[in-house]
Structure 1
């Protein structure tokens, strides 16, 4: 595991920010932490990256004990925060060389690493221009490139695409996918639910300092009512036979479809098709409709938010 955490707690006075947080993040994966403002996402990143100390609990990050070996944790990770750490008075190349010096790379290795990262992040043409002239997307790419100078095996990305236009956001997604393909683990916090849906292998929803749900995007979507399997048939006669076999699900005669409530899981689909086979009914088309992550987010966090 890239991260294991048990019972992490953090309070500021009477305000509880994290209340017994447990996490397990697999190596070489994207783990997304979702939650409303104030849920504790950034505090979680700050604790796991050794920027602040938890009040309680234990954690191992990249094989190093969080409290016993914080220097080992810092050597193995990179952190890209919500706001760019780029020095806008320096050029892109100078920012990367500065990071190479801080990582104690020799001059030759520093130049080689700088050139490689400028190429990888499509910044070669802008390498010798002041970062102040960069667009938001270019600055975020440079920020992430600077994080990679030390070759981290685990990167914390705290809302990395905030404020970016859709094209720049998709470019960052491709960069993140490439990093994971190279074996890097990504711990992502985001308020863009589509971003988590697109990138994450597993998603955890944090609210009021506690995890309220965790799983793949598909698993989380099946937690929320409203899912159904839509069956389409070749003609009205087959539609009638199917409706009778399935006990009268919602039907649309104009489109020759039936909507059967359910989560669309493998077991449900198998049982559904078996019933139709037993009735000698052929299905022309089948599609699974589940709530999206917006529905999941609101269902899991709205009730708690209203109670606070």
Structure 2
């Protein structure tokens, strides 16, 4: 099975260690949750795995490709950032077409397929600035699929959305995961419980816990995932 393998990876900014000798694996075609409080190292890890920055030491293999082979990594990895990627004055279709051209792709059927997946076809000629928050988020994530990534990093995909829009997006993310490995960061713990088959909890640059939601609850001796998370992060902070 293909997977992301991180071995003994560290990254420091001046005297602050963002990641400290971490080891983890992320399996193919699963939704893996990446959790942690502010400053835990989540953003640094994602930047390393997407080739934005280099680790200070350690090795990383993504589906058998060494992270040092960054051109090959970028062919199979993409990220949907917390900040919207959409261009507000362009229509839904024009946004997707613009990013296709930006990536050197010319495939009208791909755009149609993506609009169908995200239920955006009826809005194809609407300027994106007129969309609701939920549909803007759909379009932003849709843009990240233009390159047909094998691995997609979703950074707080439902932040600021109401519960109905969030649940709609959950269904779409689940569909995407049938053919794409997803790494999901979120502060909504119920979102992690609902969507993620595996969870990695970071705290102060270390892997504080990992496994299924049930594994983590059992190991922490807690009945709820929220209590387990608070206990794990709290214990890590005391080290």
TM-score normalized by the length of structure 2: 0.95
In our comparison, the structure showing a higher alpha carbon Rg is: 1
Higher RCO, Cα 8 Å, sep 6+: 2
Deviations 1:281-305, CA, capped at 9 Å, x for gaps: xxxxxxxxxx111011100012333
Tell me what 2:115 maps to. Answer: 118
Once residues 191 and 156 of structure 2 are traced to their aligned partners in structure 1, the CA distance between those partners, rounded to angstroms, is: 10
Paired residues in the alignment total 238
CA RMSD of aligned residues (A): 1.3
Equivalent residue in structure 1 for 2:219, among 215, 223, 227 = 223
Q: Following superposition, which runs of at least 4 residues in structure 1 exceed 3 angstroms of deviation?
A: 303-307
Deviation at 1:163, TM superposition (A): 1.1
Aligned to 1:246: none
**2:190 is equivalent to residue 194 of structure 1:** yes
- Unaligned 5+ residue runs, structure 1? 227-290
Q: Does 2:85 correspond to 1:96?
A: no
Q: Distance in 2 between matches of 1:70 and 1:139?
A: 30
Instruction: Say whether the 8 Å CA contact 1:220–1:296 is kept in structure 2.
Output: yes
Deviation at 1:125, TM superposition (A): 1.8
> Aligned residue for 1:204?
200
Offset of 1:150 from its aligned partner?
A: 1.3
| 1:194 aligned counterpart, secondary structure | helix
Partner of 2:87: 87
8 Å CA contact 1:62–1:73 kept in 2: the answer is no
Contact 2:221 2:228 in 1 (8 A): no
Deviations 1:11-40 (A, max 9, x none): 111111111111211111111111111101
Query: TM (normalized to structure 1)?
Result: 0.75
User: What does 1:100-249 align with in structure 2 at a 5 Å threshold?
Assistant: 100-106=100-106, 109=107, 111-181=108-178, 183-225=179-221
Q: Does 1:304 align with 2:236?
A: yes
